[in-house]
């Protein structure tokens, strides 16, 4: 084919840059959120000596309850 003749395969594949950027933004944001949440959970586990939803003998448990006293005048 010559350079003057339009190819029948022109515009077969189109790339929407805005759509790709939007998708990548969502993917990266989700990965960062999951990573930060995992780091926070690991830190909480370490501080409380208990896994998530686990009760421990210590007062600062993850799933335990604290006694709160209500005082009224």
pLDDT at 22 over 70: yes
Residue 46's pLDDT band, with cuts at 50, 70 and 90, is confident
Over residues 10-22, the mean pLDDT reads 86
Over residues 7-32, the mean pLDDT reads 87
For the chain, the structural domain boundaries read: 24-65
pLDDT at 55 over 70: no
The set of residues, in sequence order, having a beta carbon less than 8 Å from that of 49 and lying 6+ positions away, is 56, 58
State the pTM of this model: 0.52
């Amino acid at each position: 084919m010559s350079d003057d003749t339009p190819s029948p395969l022109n515009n077969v594949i189109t790339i929407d840059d805005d759509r790709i950027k939007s998708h990548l933004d969502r993917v990266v944001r989700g990965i960062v959120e999951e990573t930060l949440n995992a780091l926070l959970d690991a830190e909480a586990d370490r501080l409380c000596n208990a896994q998530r939803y686990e009760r421990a003998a210590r007062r600062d448990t993850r799933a335990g309850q604290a006694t709160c006293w209500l005082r009224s005048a």
